Amino acid sequence: MAEYAIQANGLTRYFGNKPVVQQATFTVPVGSVTGLLGLNGAGKSTTIRMLMGLLEPTRGSCSLLGVDSRHLKPEDRVRVGYTIEGHYLYSGLTVRDAELVQADCFPRWNSLIFQSTINRFGISPTDRIRHLSRGQRAGVSIALTLSSQPELLVLDDPSLGLDPVARRALNETILEFIEPGDRSVLLSSHMLDDIERVADRVMIMVEGRIVVNTTVPDFLSRIVTWSCQGAEEIYGVSIPGLISKRRVGKRWLFTVVDGMEETEQVIQTIGGGEATRTESSFDEAVVAYLSRSRTSESFLQRG
């Protein structure tokens, strides 16, 4: 069995003179759920479209399940389940009719998977798609994707706009899909708590560049937040490993990666020796990166 479900090497895409994805190099290991995070316009969807062979890279290369994305054949594509934001379906069909249309395209179609998935979202096969809620349409879309029995799921913001019940059903479905150990998921999302709940690994994209690529535990273990009082403005102070700094009331909050003794010394100087250190939560650590677009510090997988 291959080690990686997805590989990208120097993946770059320009639109005109504007670089949207820049030198993205990463892998998605087989058996993992990898969360892809970034602000709107960071390049996540463009990256996914290149992975799926829907957009030609300006430079670089990528592959799915060992096949170059530029040369995916129908027999390769049926091994990949791809769901995009919006969950576009034929509104005039019933859920059962939507299944019949899709089943004709996939030789390994499994109706039992389809039925169990729509059950999880509280959907009946006789429901007409135009009458479904947004969360239920997402459920139908996921059911149609999973019933082809793919080896790899590529999900581009599938939970956007879903209510808490539908999001929980989606998360449970992803965890159930990955359970056998030989399947893989790339999940792009803005829902940080969903990523923390289901992902083994996290990638963060800032202005078209992958600045974080590691396991979730490693990510959390290497980021801390320091808090101290200090001057209203700080000029000319260099803090090693700084990801972001912000002023909240009378206090400064500094989020740093791989903080060294020198980092603490600088921050203690700013705070008059009364700075305090706390571990960052997952959402605090991610937001620190997403709000920075700013520093040159990068955080890539070690070794």
290 and 197 part of one domain: no
pLDDT in tens, 141-168: 989 999 999 999 999 988 877 788 888 9
CATH of the domain at 46: 3.40.50.300
Determine the average pLDDT of the residues in 182-189.
94
Q: Picking from 35-44, 186-195, 261-270, which range would have the lowest pLDDT averaged per residue?
A: 261-270
Last residue of a domain, one of 189, 214, 239: 214
pLDDT for 1: 58
* pLDDT over 50 at 41, yes or no: yes
Mean pLDDT, residues 199-227: 93
Of 192, 214, 236, the residue that ends a domain is 214
Output Rg (C-alpha) for the chain, integer angstroms: 22
Q: Which of 214, 234, 264 is the last residue of a domain?
A: 214
Q: pLDDT tens across 85-117, in order?
A: 766 788 899 999 999 999 988 989 999 999 999
* Sign of the torsion formed by the C-alpha atoms of 293, 162, 101 and 75: positive
SS3 81: strand
Query: 48-93: per-residue pLDDT in tens?
Result: 999 999 999 999 999 999 999 999 999 999 999 998 876 678 889 9
Domains in the chain, number: 2
Give bridge partners of residue 279 from the DSSP assignment.
224
- CA 52 vs. chain centroid, Å, equals 15
Residue 135 reports pLDDT greater than 50: yes
* pLDDT surpasses 70 at 284: yes
Q: Are residues 51 and 194 in the same domain?
A: yes
Do both 137 and 265 map to the same domain? no
Q: Which residue did the predictor score with more confidence, 274 or 297?
A: 274
CATH assignment of the domain containing 291: 3.30.70
* Residue 47 shares a structural domain with residue 194: yes
SS3 244: strand
Residues 53 and 161 in one domain: yes
State residue 86's pLDDT score.
67
Helix (H, G, I), strand (E, B) or coil at 144: helix
Question: Tokens for 9?
Answer: 């090497």
Identify the DSSP state of 94: B
Residues 117 and 192 both lie in one domain: yes
Listing DSSP states for 169-226 in one string gives HHHHHHHHHHTTSS-EEEEE-S-HHHHHHH-SEEEEEETTEEEEEEEHHHHHHTEEEE
Q: Tell me: do 108 and 10 sit in the same domain.
A: yes
What's the token pair of residue 114? 């389809």
Structural domain boundaries, residue 274: 222-300
On the question of pLDDT at 302 being above 50, the answer is no
Task: Copy the structure tokens of residue 226.
Answer: 């320091």
What is the average per-residue pLDDT within 270-295? Answer: 81
pLDDT band for position 134 (cuts 50, 70, 90) = confident
Distance CA(6)–CA(68), nearest Å, equals 10
Residues 231, 208 share a domain: no
Give yes or no: residues 94 and 200 share one domain. Answer: yes
- Give me the helix-helix angle, 134-146 and 95-103, nearest 10°: 30
Whole-model pTM?
Answer: 0.88
Q: Are residues 29 and 172 in the same domain?
A: yes
Query: Both 147 and 34 in a single domain?
Result: yes
Measured CA to CA, the distance from residue 223 to residue 228 in angstroms comes to 17
Mean pLDDT of the chain: 89
**167 and 289 share one domain:** no
Q: What is the pLDDT of residue 131?
A: 93
pLDDT of the residue at 118:
93
